[in-house]
Structure 1
Amino acid sequence: MKNKEQAETKHALIEALIDRAFEEDIRSGDITTDSIVDEDYKAEAIWFTKEEGVVAGIEVGRRVFEKLDPDIKWNSHVNEGEKVPKKTSIVTIKGNARAILTAERIALNIAQRMSGIATTTRKYVEAIADLDTQVLDTRKTVPGLRLLDKEAVTAGGGANHRMGLFDLAMIKDNHIVAAGSITKAVQNVRQNVSNARIEVETTTLEQVEEAIAAGADIIMLDNMSIATMKKAVEFVDGKGATEASGNITLKTIKEVASTGVDFVSVGALTHSVSAFDISQQIQEIYK
């Protein structure tokens, strides 16, 4: 039942996102396409990559076209999360010509952003492929696009941290100040939320020790030096999971992961997206 509810929620969110995109971009109609292309014309188009990378967002793109032409024929040549070379044909589309032209930019915007995230994520994952550390995303996403951003991370081989404020209690520095201590903050969450998983942000070894004693499930090691992080992992010693965080880059992730942390969270996967270059090209327009 839970999986069914999650699938229904995901579907509703994607439908709402597409509807908002249509309102933003199309509104009363595509005045250029509608003036030039007969409403009964058909078209065939392809999507092709203009660089090497990991493809994501294909199925969401398909749904964009189906909104305008429910009978669209959509043939994907690659799988979600597949790494492809430059100049790869990834989709063939056949259907109403107006729909194919009007839906193009919205669908490409989604796929290009998601593919950009997936491509970046894959680079981070590959950088530590020989270690037992998992790459996580963060909540640093564009409001309204979090579901797609996080799906793109998984397509790239990373894992999702929390989806939002509702599915993991993360006690950060300001929460600690508000509660008075890490111990009190953890106690407050335990008293108010049954079965809550709790993560505590720490910046010193003293805080790590307090978080362990308080019973935190995950201990975030935030902006620590490599030497301090190694000591923190030794302190935790399996009493909880460890997550490294704080301005981690492709240059530093291997050294950070080598400290023995269970997870490395990387905000750059989603907050500094470089769109992956995909183009749509009409092959034929016919009656």
Structure 2
Amino acid sequence: MQHYNNTNNSIPYRATPENVAISAVLGLCFGLGIPGNLAVLVVVGQRLKNGNFTLKVMFSLAISDLLTLLSLPLWIKALLHGWIFGLVLCKMISYLVYWGIYSSVLGVTLLSVHRYLQVLYSRKWSKLGRKGELMLLIGVWILSGVLSSYSLFQRQVTFQDRDKLLHCDMKYKDDGERVRILVLETVSLFVVPFSILAFSYFTLNRKVSHMVLFRSKRMTKLVARIVLVFFLLWIPVHINNVLMIAAALRKSDRLLSFTKILAGLFGALTFINSCVNPFLYAFSAQVLRRQTPMGEST
């Protein structure tokens, strides 16, 4: 660490334009997302006693969003002035962010699958019971914690020549390790969830259109909005991951440098997702207000 400090102090640094732009986006996400998700916890939390599983998943998503958003002041500080918080905090904060990201992905996937099963196979879902639903939610958080654990090992504090700053960033031993981690992220955060979501949504949409379930359609549309916004904001990240994999396999330093810059810009979009959901809930507040003790009447 002493080597880093000496290097950082001996060379004047200036935040790059992209870092300034990313910091502005992250600051906006923090200002909107924190109070928005806290409001979701309060409003939705008051209705959890009704036993509505959709609301329970939304409550869990709000916690996931807060887990990622609460760290934003540290990342903004690091983008503008470098990472000055040490290696341990670098690893722990990164792990919490990744944990929140994975729990969000799995939570949105569970939200869509639940809607599919509850509407089309309600009797089978009802057999699960409240304990079974609770175990599903706990399982999502445990699995998310396991899947994100690699960040504890991959995150390191390194000095970057591009902006002359220390950064808490992913550090790979070689291109092979880079490819393995990126493939893991792409498959677990996009390919598998998107396949499940696409099947659930299109099948549900096709069958519900022939059913007289007007109230059910309202909640189905809310879930669809959450899913659609989620993947619109995440697709650029995974496209860039594929480009990074190609750069590593082709040993292209120019393409790799370009994708690293895009990674920061596209990564900011994922934080936007964390502050958008509360507004989706507010936009569909009528749906949430009309929830009944039976859970899925809307």
Which TM bucket (shorter chain)? under 0.3
Bigger radius of gyration:
1
Higher fraction of helix:
2
* Greater strand fraction, Structure 1 or Structure 2: 1
What is the TM-score normalised by the length of structure 1? 0.26
Higher RCO (CA-CA < 8 Å; seq separation 6+): 2
